Structure 1
Amino acid sequence: MSDKFEKLTEKHIQFIKNQHMYFIGTAAPEGYINVSPKGMDSFRVINENKVIWLNLTGSGNESAAHVVESPRMTIMFCSFDKQPLIMRLYGRAGVLHERDERWDELYSLFPDSVGARQIFELELDLIQTSCGFAVPFYEFKGERPTLSKWIDSRGKEGINDYWEEKNTLSLNGKDTHIF
């Protein structure tokens, strides 16, 4: 029970805006496949064929390393309330860092954070929706403040140190190009 679309519709865009969580899937040609849950106010629809998401500092940096080698990316949204639906966005991704020319333009679309690590831009090739009948109901209680508090407590210098220690290589030893 799936439908395929070449571009996002207004209905799709509204569905995305109503979701509190999404999942990013990436893989290099070799090595581990990565699936990361994302939340907070970190996703934007640019137009019917392009989306961006702000990657905040985390324990790993797999998506960045993967996209350098292979631009394939899938983003998945699931409805955990009311009407069941799963939406997958398939496409080719690029990664932007603070040093890149378009950073300021795109970063201005998100809340400011010292922990802003990259912005990923996804050119959509395919949008697929499916029923989501097997996805359970969950109640959204709110965003966790933990990451924001941790980022703020470290400050910019502390975040850069953390990136140096934890975010320069993927699990497979590939460069994330964070510096």
Structure 2
Amino acid sequence: MAQFYSSLTPELIKFIKEQKIFFTATAPIEGRINLSPKGIDTFRCLDQQTVGYLDLTGSGNETSAHLEDNGRMTIMFCSFSEKPLILRLYGQGKVIHPRDEEWRQLYPNFPTYEGERQMIILTLSSAQTSCGFGVPIYEYQETRDTLIEWAKKKGKTGIYDYWQQKNQVSIDGLPTKLLEE
């Protein structure tokens, strides 16, 4: 049932675009594994080997710290509709900050949101599908806007202060490089 791919096919890209949630997994060389659910329309397939998402300000910044540590990343999509499928994207992740040259090149691919923190870009080494037969069927209701509304209330200065207080290091003390120049 499982099948590996060396790049994204048009069918896999279509599947990704239909999903309302994805999960990111990273781990430092030493320390805790991080697995995060992501919603909101931030994910993009940039080409058959490259995907990414606009990372919004959150309670921590584990993904960034782990990618700075070793770059390993897995992104998973799973269908909650009647047609089951799980898709895992394996590869090397990279953090792109607004101060980086690549930001200006890549940013037009993404929507604009309050609280934008960085982009996470994954260069695929492989993709894998599996059955998803054990994943329950759920019905999508709506996008939760709580994070965006929180960022709007904080404003740019409040978000920057939050980054200084909460997003500088991982829970294991690894640097995120969010505010480095």
TM class, shorter-chain normalised? over 0.9
Aligned-partner residue type, residue 67 of structure 2: V
Corresponding position of 2:29: 29
Corresponding position of 2:59: 59
Corresponding position of 1:154: 154
Query: What is the alpha-carbon distance in structure 1 between the residues aligned to residue 111 and residue 54 of structure 2?
Result: 10
Corresponding position of 1:120: 120
Residues 24, 74 of structure 1: 8 Å contact kept: yes
Aligned-partner residue type, residue 74 of structure 1: T
Q: TM-score, normalised by structure 2?
A: 0.97
Give the superposed CA RMSD.
Answer: 0.7
Aligned to 1:81, what secondary structure does the other structure show? coil
Of 71-80 and 104-113, deviating more is 104-113
Residues 114, 159 of structure 1: 8 Å contact kept: no
Query: What is the alpha-carbon distance in structure 2 between the residues aligned to residue 97 and residue 113 of structure 1?
Result: 15
How big is the shift at 1:105?
Answer: 2.2
Corresponding position of 1:82: 82
Corresponding position of 2:6: 6
Aligned-partner residue type, residue 101 of structure 1: E
Query: What is the alpha-carbon distance in structure 2 between the residues aligned to residue 53 and residue 75 of structure 1?
Result: 11
Query: What is the alpha-carbon distance in structure 1 between the residues aligned to residue 35 and residue 43 of structure 2?
Result: 16
Aligned-partner residue type, residue 29 of structure 1: I
Aligned to 1:47, what secondary structure does the other structure show? coil
Of 104-113 and 30-39, deviating more is 104-113
Residues 89, 126 of structure 1: 8 Å contact kept: yes
Structure 1 unaligned regions, length at least 5: none
Query: What is the alpha-carbon distance in structure 2 between the residues aligned to residue 113 and residue 140 of structure 1?
Result: 21
How big is the shift at 1:82?
Answer: 1.8
Aligned-partner residue type, residue 177 of structure 1: K
Aligned to 1:126, what secondary structure does the other structure show? strand
Give per-residue Cα distances to partners, 1:63-88, cap 9 Å, x unaligned.
00000011110000000002000000
Residues 115, 156 of structure 1: 8 Å contact kept: yes
Query: What is the alpha-carbon distance in structure 2 between the residues aligned to residue 174 and residue 41 of structure 1?
Result: 28
Q: TM-score, normalised by structure 1?
A: 0.98
How big is the shift at 1:114?
Answer: 3.1
Structure 2 unaligned regions, length at least 5: none
Corresponding position of 2:73: 73
Query: What is the alpha-carbon distance in structure 1 between the residues aligned to residue 63 and residue 171 of structure 2?
Result: 11
Residues 49, 123 of structure 1: 8 Å contact kept: yes
Aligned to 1:52, what secondary structure does the other structure show? strand
How big is the shift at 1:109?
Answer: 1.8
Q: Give the % identical residues.
A: 50
Aligned-partner residue type, residue 171 of structure 1: I
Corresponding position of 1:172: 172
Aligned to 2:15, what secondary structure does the other structure show? helix
Aligned to 1:67, what secondary structure does the other structure show? helix
